[in-house]
Chains A and B, each alone.
Chain A
Amino acid sequence: MEGKADSFRDLLAEWTNDEIRAALDASLTQPDCVLPSGAAAGSPARLLAEWMRRDFDAALAWFEGLDSATAKERLSLVIGRQWPADRAAEGLAFMKANRNLYRGGRGWHFLEKNLEQATASGPQVVAVLLLQYHKEQLHDGRTGPLEFPADFDFSLLLATDEWQELGDDPLAATVLHAWQSREPDLAFDWLLGQQGAKSLVMLANNYLIPGNTSAKWLAEKIEDLRPEDQREFLDAAKGEWIKMPQRLVAFSRGLRDPLLVEEIGASATQAMFRDVEGSLPALEAIPGVERRVELLEQAEPDESLVRTTAFREFDAYDEALLRKKLAEWKVEEPRIEAIISRYRP
């Protein structure tokens, strides 16, 4: 079995490094290679990656010698991605010396490789590195997933002074997600104890967990919280999830408490101002049709939450879908019209 990268490597198997370099040079002035609409937009990055794999130093020297800042910027991600893990520290120095190429989180590969190397030296070394990233804002507030060794002790990392200084930097969430994927209950308890119930919202979306079942798992945990913690969590979560209906839906699927199901369903009527199709399943989690309809009849768009980025206009498709659903629920025509008029812009 072979993937696209392997197949490309096969294609180049008989090529010399000089031929790869010549093709790379040629690609820089070919519209089909440098524009996203070109027929071979992926070729330069693939060529550079293969050359870096064969002769890293020569490929890097070629990259550094490029006159065109535009070409450098276009290929800079390949440099980070293919940088050898065993030369991670050197990579970090390179990234810091070329910050203009690695703004906006584009240097994450360098940071990731250094962090993953640091995990082998223990939590204290990781903490120092995280704080360095934080202070120098090397990640510009953007992160990706991290791999930790199976025996890594997260509780020791979270007990360091450096960790406290991270505050709500996204780097902290990245580490906590890694911990959640290993020891979800410990991560949950630590967050609840250290940062309060509202901080648990971050545990609802974790792609490190196969199938991303985190929202459903979290719902079950939230049901067991003390009422005041539950309230703090729900107020924070609803504020965020009204913009992310898929999160509301996933969370509602884990709920058993009818009152919580109804509260999340009510939020879904808000979220429907942004996305009818995506939000409806959370409303449908409420068992009684009449209650669902009552909530729809009371729905008022909260301008500050609803009409922000990614707002989807309520269009003919949404209207048809909502009408169909209400008809299936055997709602009388005047009530259907009243609900539709609430949602129609």
Chain B
Amino acid sequence: MKRAPVIVLCLAGMLAGLVGGRMISRQPAAAATPAACAAASPQERAASEKPGNATERKHDLSVLVKWEAQQDLSWNPVIQRELERMNASELRDLIVEMTAVFSDSGNPDSRAARSLIVQASLELFRRDGEAALEWAATMDGDRELMMKWMLGEAAVDSPELAKRWIERMSASGQFHKNWDRGIVYHALAGATYRGVDDLIRVRQLYGDLVRDTAFALGPYPVGFDFKKIFTSLGGEMQLTHMMQYWAATDRDAAWDSVKKQIDAGGKGASYSNSLFSGVAALEGGEQAAKWLIPKLEELPETARLEAISSLTLRDILSAESVSSVMGSLSRESDRVAMAKGLVSMNTTMGQDLAALRSLSSDASRSIVLIAAANNHAAAIPNAQPRHVKAIRDYFRKTMERLDLPEDSKTEVMEVLDLPN
């Protein structure tokens, strides 16, 4: 009897309870075990690169940081050991066999089979390299699944090879839209770890395949040149996560670069939310507001309003931070502009009320609420009745909490009084 079928049942059973686990690693193989990750802060990470370091025996945060970096790439170790004992032929048999299980959606082991295909594909690629890709490209079954993972592995160290295969398989027209997204992510993550020059090179190599949301996501290696990447690409891409991390580690350098871009007519003001959240993550919203808002107040009006608008995006600020920021803004017109970006029934964490309460007059509150009501009113003619009711209830309750004058309440509700 061949080894594969026996092990298949065993592994599929073992995996059944695991498949809810993380399928996409946060970090490329190249970044998994560097000594630099053994320490918590970038400074400590740099220090840990000295020989003779014995962080494993310590009971402190540095050990956990190292563990996180390793764990994100480690699959089930028991299964991994079994796969490592199999030769390439057995791995191929296993994949073929698991493909049959995976393609039968009624089979209770289908999801476990998927995990096995992924893990065995990765192992096969490590053994056979491009020959494994050639095999996967011609076999029956879910080629896309195997190729995605093999190429993700390849892309970390060999972005050129991965790009060539992305083009080849995309041209075949057999794969789904955006099938290459994870591969590009791995290529960028690998390049990030090698440093800024490589990251810029891979960005150019992959061109339109790179999306802002997947670019320079971190983790960042010791000595990562934030200034260089921002100067090179911060104008054409939105480097949100990178700027956040940079602000957390070297806020003044981060601000200097943003300010230079604003002065040059670039889109630097849109980074205000990253600057704020990077500092706030370590020191809280109040300190972040104290640091950032005076700087924003000195900007010309257009850039200043863009920066304020950026602070209202995507729940970046908690309700407390909204109060801190608005309390630091000296112009009521800026506070009104900020509140307009935050008052919406889609706001989930109380930022809307915090913003309205931070305004200095009922007149300002009315202006903001009327603007918000106009935004929501556009949806009313085509909305479901229960949605219309929810919109009106939101404004009614919000105004009750603020104890607005009756004529202001009436004026706001009139905006929403549209046929449905």
Contacts and interface: CB of A to CB of B under 8 A. Distances in A.
Interface of A: 1-4, 7-8, 11, 14-16, 19, 22-23, 26-43, 46-47, 67-71, 73-74, 100, 103-105, 140, 168, 210-211, 277, 304, 317-318, 320-321, 324
22 contacts: A1-B76, A1-B78, A3-B17, A22-B60, A34-B248, A36-B244, A37-B218, A37-B220, A38-B219, A38-B245, A39-B219, A42-B68, A43-B68, A67-B284, A69-B318, A71-B284, A73-B318, A211-B106, A277-B177, A304-B382, A317-B178, A320-B173
B61 interface: yes
B64 A23 contact: yes
B22 A4 contact: yes
B248 A103 contact: no
A23 B352 CA distance: 35
A39 B67 contact: no
Given A43-B61, A140-B348, A32 B280 contact: no
Task: Please list the 9 inter-chain residue pairs (A to B) with the smallest Cβ-Cβ separation, ordered nearest first.
Answer: A104-B348, A37-B218, A39-B219, A304-B382, A40-B65, A31-B248, A40-B68, A37-B241, A19-B59
Contact of A31 (B41, B68, B382): B41
A33 B27 CA distance: 15
Nearest to B57: A14
A311 to B, nearest CB: 14
B63 A1 contact: no
Interface string B282-303: 1111000000000000000000
B144 to A, nearest CB: 13
A38 B177 contact: no
Contacts of A33: 40, 61, 65
Contacts of A31: 41-42, 245, 248-249, 278, 281-282
A35 B41 contact: no
Nearest to B179: A317
A115 B17 CA distance: 26
Given A33-B61, A211-B106, A39 B69 contact: yes
Contact of B60 (A23, A38, A71, A74): A23
B361 interface: no
Chain B CB count within 10 A is highest, among A2, A31, A34, for: A31
Contact of B348 (A29, A67, A74, A103): A103
Contacts of B71: 4, 7-8
Interface of B: 14, 17-18, 21-22, 27, 37, 40-42, 59-61, 63-65, 67-69, 71, 76-78, 105-106, 108, 173, 176-178, 217-220, 241-242, 244-245, 248-249, 278, 280-285, 318-321, 348-350, 382, 386
B245 A35 contact: yes
Given A3-B21, A23-B64, A104-B348, 7 more contacts: A8-B67, A26-B60, A27-B61, A29-B282, A33-B40, A40-B64, A46-B64
A340 to B, nearest CB: 16
Contacts of A47: 64
A106 to B, nearest CB: 8
Contact of B285 (A3, A70, A277): A70
Contacts of B64: 11, 23, 40, 43, 46-47
A300 B239 CA distance: 38
B289 to A, nearest CB: 12
B397 to A, nearest CB: 10
Contacts of A37: 217-220, 241-242, 244-245
A39 B221 CA distance: 9
A74 B285 CA distance: 13
Contacts of B17: 1, 3
Contacts of A36: 241, 244
A259 B218 CA distance: 52
Contacts of B245: 31, 35, 37-38
A27 B350 CA distance: 27
Contacts of B318: 69-70, 73
Contacts of A68: 283-284
Given A43-B68, A104-B348, A15 B59 contact: yes
Contacts of A320: 173
A122 to B, nearest CB: 30
Contact of A277 (B14, B21, B176, B386): B176
Contacts of A16: 59
A7 B284 CA distance: 32
Given A69-B320, A324-B173, A34 B68 contact: no
Contacts of B280: 70
Contacts of A104: 348-349
Nearest to A66: B284
A104 B217 CA distance: 26
A3 B18 contact: yes
B282 to A, nearest CB: 6
A178 B40 CA distance: 44
Contacts of A8: 67, 71
Contacts of A32: 40-42, 65, 219
Contacts of A317: 177-178
B343 to A, nearest CB: 15
Contacts of A277: 176-177
B96 to A, nearest CB: 23
A41 B69 CA distance: 10
Contact of B350 (A14, A38, A100): A100
